[in-house]
Amino acid sequence: MKNKFRILKILITVIIFGFLLSFSLKRFNDKPMEKVTVKLTQTKNRVYFIDEKDVKDLVKKSNPTKRVGDINIPELEKKLNQLPAVDSANVYLNLNGNLNLDIKQRVPAFRLNKDDRDFYVDEKGVEFPTSKNYSFPCMLVMGNVKKSEYVKLAELVSKIDRDDFSKKYFIGIAKKNGNYELLTSEGYFKVEIGDLEKIDLKVKGFKAFVEKFLIFQDPEKYNKVSVKYENQIVTTLNPNFKENDSIISVGKKELAKLPVINQKKEEAQKKALTPQRVEAKKETRKEKPKVTEVKKKATIKPKSEESKPKVTPRKEIVKPKVVEKKPAVTPKKVESKPKAKVKIE
């Protein structure tokens, strides 16, 4: 009997508790939504892409009856998370019937100008559009940047923002022909870094170049400073700077003297010649020695046309010398004969 009484007592309390709970839930659901609280979570850099008024208008559209029971909290969270400038959203109700919305906004890492479009990218590599009412001050990036490079590019921008030296010099990033260039506040030269690997080492190399060398030079003297090569800094002179005109002209003259360049020029000229011109030149070169041979043969034949060309000019020169000696011998013999005749008489 005692056990039955206990079971009956438990059932009665459960029924009474359920009745009271259903009554309170019904009363709570019929209660009007008195207050909507929008809490924007603070970040390192404050942003104002989302307006509280816009969020409250979204809540009103999702619950036109303004009854607590008609609010679909999961659906409202989904709509808030679909907003491009929202990183995360949390929606919950108090016992008083107040609706609370905790929203965390996206913080841009940089602003990208790509394919005639302008948008923000956060540190997670997520794109979201710019706002008409608010503009966040961040690094401007230009060029055909791939989505796979967003995270590394965001890390580069954060490193520049944390370093006072880099933040003072670099105001933008541009990608040209697969190489990244840092735009300087001076506006006279660019810093070429190549890819996004070993960024710390490249920035340190440029910092050393500025502190030990560039500080004593005119910034207008250079057009580009490249630190993309390991343990090397390559500078390009500005041709529009007056002091560089003489240096550039002298360098061109010295390069023109190099035999390698001259050989390349000759090869280029040979390639530019057509095959017909090459054959014409070869024929002219072959004809020149034939003309000289004919002239030599004409000099060899001074006396007779029937003599053969085999006789060399040296042999013909020797023969007239022998002929000249014979008349010198004959007059001596002729003079001795009359003397003998005179003695006989």
Q: Which domain holds residue 52?
A: 7-105
Model pLDDT, residue 286? 52
Model pLDDT, residue 340? 42
Model pLDDT, residue 324? 43
C-alpha closest to that of 210 among 170, 176, 243, 248: 170
Q: What are 114's strand-pairing partners?
A: 117
DSSP string, 272-334: HS-HHHHHHHHHHHHHHHHHHHHHHHHHH-SS-SSS-TTS-HHHHHHHHHHHHHHHHHHHHHH
Instruction: Give how far Cα 197 sits from Cα of 11, 145, 188, Å.
Output: 71, 15, 25
Residues 206 and 126 both lie in one domain: yes
Residue 248 lies in a domain: no
Residue 297 lies in a domain: yes
Model pLDDT, residue 65? 75
Q: Using the 3D structure, point to which of 105, 127, 149 is the last residue of a domain.
A: 105
306-312 long-range CB contacts below 8 Å, 24 or more apart? none
**d(Cα 83, Cα 164) in Å, to the nearest integer?**
34
Beta strands in 10-148 (DSSP E): 36-40, 86-93, 99-105, 108-114, 117-122, 127-129, 139-142
Model pLDDT, residue 123? 92
Residues 204 and 295 both lie in one domain: no
**d(Cα 71, Cα 58) in Å, to the nearest integer?**
12
Contacts of 159 (CB under 8 A, 6+ apart): 166, 199, 200, 203
Model pLDDT, residue 14? 78
Model pLDDT, residue 214? 82
- For the chain, residues with pLDDT lower than 50 are 247, 250-251, 287-345
Instruction: Give how far Cα 199 sits from Cα of 162, 165, 203, 230, Å.
Output: 14, 14, 6, 11
**d(Cα 53, Cα 57) in Å, to the nearest integer?**
6
Residue 95 lies in a domain: yes
Residues 184 and 287 both lie in one domain: no
The one-character DSSP state at 30 is T
Residue 303's identity, in one-letter code, is K
Whether pTM > 0.85 for this model: the answer is no
Q: What is the CATH number of the domain that holds 93?
A: 3.10.20.310
Q: What is the CATH number of the domain that holds 196?
A: 3.40.50.11690
**d(Cα 157, Cα 77) in Å, to the nearest integer?**
32
Model pLDDT, residue 260? 60
Model pLDDT, residue 19? 63
Total count of domains within the chain: 3
Pairing assessment for the beta strands 99-105 and 86-93 based on DSSP bridges: antiparallel
Q: Using the 3D structure, point to which of 211, 238, 265 is the last residue of a domain.
A: 238
Query: b/e for 217-230, b at 16 or more Cβ within 10 A?
Result: eeebbbbebbbbee
Residue 246 lies in a domain: no
Q: Is 125 helix (H, G, I), strand (E, B) or coil?
A: coil
Q: Residue 254 phi/psi, 5° resolution?
A: -65, -40
Residues 290 and 317 both lie in one domain: yes
Residue 247 lies in a domain: no
Instruction: Give how far Cα 276 sits from Cα of 226, 264, 282, 309, Å.
Output: 47, 22, 10, 36
Q: Residue 104 phi/psi, 5° resolution?
A: -110, 125
Model pLDDT, residue 276? 55
Contacts of 301 (CB under 8 A, 6+ apart): 307, 309
Q: What are 190's strand-pairing partners?
A: 183, 224
Q: Using the 3D structure, point to which of 105, 132, 150 is the last residue of a domain.
A: 105
**d(Cα 75, Cα 97) in Å, to the nearest integer?**
18
